[in-house]
Amino acid sequence: MKDDTLHELALMLSRLPDAGRMEEFMRALLTPRERRRLALRWRIVCLLRAGARQRDIARRLGISLCNITRGSRELKRGPAGFRSLVDEHVKENRNKKGRNKP
């Protein structure tokens, strides 16, 4: 895929006003398998960033360690904006869980 097409897609996604519209867009554009793979990759990087060990993630999600390697590599050497977004999400989830405890 040409970089300008990826940029065009990124611009389109940035215009979506809410999570519901984003989900609708992804359901229309991606196959069920692509959606599952994308959601799994997101879950892997969030668990890694939250401090889970790779072997524990593999066991918990029923996947091989090879599936976790890419996410781990992106968190170590990938774009700072990506790491920042994952960090924000993990922090928000921790805060929500802390507020929900009795």
Q: Which of 48, 78, 77, 51 is nearest to 63 (CA)?
A: 48
Share of the chain above pLDDT 90, in %: 83
Per-domain boundaries in the chain: 1-30, 32-100
Alpha-carbon span 63 to 52, nearest angstrom: 14
Token reading at 24: 């609708």
32 burial level (CB within 10 Å; 0-12, 13-18, 19+): exposed
pLDDT for 102:
46
Write out pLDDT tens, residues 13-63: 999 999 999 999 999 999 999 999 999 999 999 999 999 999 999 999 999
| Backbone Cα Rg of the chain | 15
